[in-house]
């Protein structure tokens, strides 16, 4: 049988029962009981793009196999998969085996299309940083990519909801940079250099909050991320990099370097938009407002795109709610196509 990625399997299962093979890493393995107090096992499996929850009932072959599994194991799952409404994709009559080293390494590398996309996104980020006219922001961005680029490429943009995958932060940052370029071309009062630097650094604290290990897809929790959160960590990181800069050649630049630093830190601090959503301050500059809305827009567009592919249809063109979006959503209007003229 064909080996599917988890994301492709979920899409295929929307159209009916699918017999398939998937490879993944065990993120969690939980012992549970039914209402009748019969034991079963719940396994969350992850790959480079997505996750799926498998259930092994006490009378199934997989139940005994799950007793031998542990968190972090790389396995192949063979079975029948169907979409089960609000419960998502469900596996039936499934079995599994451990992956050999070659299969594990191929899984960790991710599907070719995703690797190519994330490489292109990262290269775009590098080029955008190199294009910044302000030498202080350009040098700061280059230093960040040099010192922390590997960790950046392993980080997710979130633990759930949007870009919640290895390399997702690179995808999110690159798309925000494209949007920021477009917005800055329309609202010419915006400081392009500052806005793009803000995009690069707004989530840099997630390199400690949402980073994936080098050898897996299981996002760990960290004491730093839990006690501080990504906004304070991002502010601390920018300050640490800033202290390494040699400001001698830039002594007479306008605006002054200290003013540049404060405005960049404000973008990080205010990018959630409101204090109730985790920002210590509200946006107070044009760039801060623009960054907040660009961030929110890209997150929502990603959630909608994923929802159209995986959410159950409640009626023709109407899909069930995908949290945290506020309600059911509707198929978008097709683009206008000029009718073909008769010869």
Task: Report residue 4: phi and psi, to 5°.
Answer: -100, 150
Question: In this predicted structure, what is the pLDDT of residue 343?
Answer: 63
Kindly give the pairing relationship between strand 51-57 and strand 74-83.
Answer: unpaired
Which CATH superfamily is 3-105 part of?
Nucleic acid-binding proteins (2.40.50.140)
Please state the domain extents for the chain: 3-105, 111-302
Give the pLDDT of residue 194. 98
CATH T-level topology, domain 111-302: Hypothetical protein af1432 (1.10.3210)
User: Omega before 211 cis (within 30°)?
Assistant: no
DSSP 8-state code for residue 85:
G
Q: What is the mean pLDDT of each run of 10 residues along the chain (343 residues)?
A: 87 85 92 87 90 87 84 92 76 89 91 93 98 98 97 92 91 98 98 98 96 88 92 97 94 95 98 92 98 96 86 85 86 89 71
**Residue 174: predicted pLDDT:** 98
Task: Give pLDDT, residue 87.
Answer: 65
Report residue 335 CA to chain centroid gap. Answer: 28
Given a contact cutoff of 8 angstroms between Cβ atoms, the answer to whether 313 and 319 are in contact is: yes
Q: Which pLDDT belongs to residue 89?
A: 83
Q: Is the pTM of this model over 0.75?
A: yes
Query: What pLDDT, on the 0 to 100 scale, is given for residue 67?
Result: 81
Distance CA 38, CA 32 (A): 8
């Amino acid at each position: 049988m064909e080996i599917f990625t988890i994301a492709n399997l979920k899409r295929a299962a929307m159209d009916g029962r699918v017999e398939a093979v998937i490879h993944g890493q065990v993120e969690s393995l939980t012992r549970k009981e039914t209402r009748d107090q019969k034991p079963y096992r719940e396994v969350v499996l992850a790959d480079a793009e997505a996750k799926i929850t498998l259930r092994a009932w006490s009378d199934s072959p997989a139940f005994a196999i799950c007793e031998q599994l542990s968190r972090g194991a790389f396995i192949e799952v063979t079975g029948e998969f169907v979409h089960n409404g609000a419960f998502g994709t469900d596996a039936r009559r499934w079995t599994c085996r451990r992956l050999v080293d070659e299969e594990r390494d191929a899984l960790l590398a991710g599907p070719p299309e995703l690797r190519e996309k994330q490489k292109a996104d990262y290269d775009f980020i590098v080029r955008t940083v190199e294009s910044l006219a302000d030498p202080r922001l350009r040098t700061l961005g280059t230093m960040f990519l040099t010192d922390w680029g590997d960790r950046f490429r392993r980080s997710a943009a979130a633990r759930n909801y949007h870009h919640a995958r290895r390399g997702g932060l690179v995808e999110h940052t690159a798309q925000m940079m494209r949007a920021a370029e477009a917005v800055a071309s329309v609202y010419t009062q915006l400081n392009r250099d500052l806005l793009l630097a803000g995009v690069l650094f707004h989530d840099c604290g997630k390199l400690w909050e949402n980073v994936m290990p080098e050898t897996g897809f299981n996002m760990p929790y960290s004491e730093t991320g839990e006690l501080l959160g990504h906004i304070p960590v991002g502010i601390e990181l920018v300050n640490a990099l800033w202290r390494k800069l040699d400001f001698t050649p830039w002594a007479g630049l306008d605006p002054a370097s200290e003013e540049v630093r404060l405005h960049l830190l404000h973008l990080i601090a205010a990018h959630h938009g409101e204090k109730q959503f985790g920002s210590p301050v509200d946006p107070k500059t044009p760039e801060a407002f623009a960054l907040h809305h660009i961030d929110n827009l890209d997150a929502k567009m990603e959630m909608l795109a994923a929802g159209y592919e995986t959410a159950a249809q409640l009626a023709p063109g109407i899909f069930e709610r995908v949290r945290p979006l506020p309600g059911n959503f509707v198929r978008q209007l097709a683009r206008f196509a000029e009718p073909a003229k008769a010869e």
